Amino acid sequence: MDRPPSRAPLPLLIPVGGMLAIGLAAVGFSRILLSVEPEAATATALTVAFGIMAVAALVARRERVRAGVLLSSVGAVAGIAMVAGGIALAVMPKGREAERPAPTEGEQPGAGATVVTLTAPPGAASEGFAETKLVAPAGQPFTIRFENQDAGIPHNVAVHAAEDFSDPPIAATPVQSGPVTQTLEVPALDPGTYFFRCDVHPTTMTGRIEVG
């Protein structure tokens, strides 16, 4: 009496399991390579590749390959990968982020290179923003860091070109109750005077931005 139901999953399990293991190893190893410097990553990848070749060559020299030998060769390759990755991480701890050059003056800076802070202190609904005048550079995006310190009171910040706020906002944050810190990315503006307000308290919470 044969038992086909118990053997049926195996032919499917081996290729699927193999693919999964290869995928996991590839993703894991790529994490190591990405976290080290390019030179270290190249050296690590080469070391591991040669290690795999050497182990495979050794296994291939045997007349009979038993499951135990295959298993230990997989272990050896994994060991080589771990040791090489560990050495690369230890010798070159600097990540790629440290290499990235910081934007310098004169260069075209990315969005949010300039950060100006705007605060809504407790009582802002009647007292207004702590700052009524902000200064920002012209021709480049900047960030308004809006600190709503007013616990339980909803505020926001909206930037307009028109003093009477009749135009659609250039940029605005959602209305949120404090305490909360919002960041507003403002696109590059031409030199001039712009206006900001809290949409919830438009009569008390207003100010201007001098751009230029």
Would you tell me which residues interact with Cu ion (CB under 5 A)?
155, 198, 200-201, 205
Alpha-carbon span 211 to 139, nearest angstrom? 9
Q: How far is the CB of 150 from Cu ion (least distance, A)?
A: 8
What single-letter amino acid sits at 203? T
CB 195 within 8 A of CB 160: yes
Cβ nearer to Cu ion, comparing 41 with 205: 205
The span from the CA of 174 to the CA of 135, in Å, is: 22
What is the C-alpha separation between 18 and 123, in angstroms, rounded? Answer: 64
CB of 209 to Cu ion, least distance (A): 17
Please answer whether residues 146 and 121 qualify as being in contact, where contact means their C-beta atoms are separated by less than 8 angstroms.
no
Overall size of the chain counted in residues: 212
Q: How far is the CB of 171 from Cu ion (least distance, A)?
A: 17
* Choice between 32 and 201, CB closer to Cu ion: 201
When CB distances to Cu ion are compared, the closest residue is 198
CB of 153 to Cu ion, least distance (A): 7
Q: What is the CA 152 to chain-centroid distance, rounded?
A: 31
The residue (of 73 and 204) whose beta carbon lies closer to Cu ion is 204
Q: Which is nearer to Cu ion, 48 or 124 (CB)?
A: 124
* CB closer to Cu ion, 77 vs 118: 118
The answer to whether the beta carbons of residues 55 and 61 sit under 8 Å apart is: no
Alpha carbon distance 139, 142 (integer Å): 9
In the complex, least distance from residue 160 CB atom to Cu ion, rounded to whole angstroms: 15
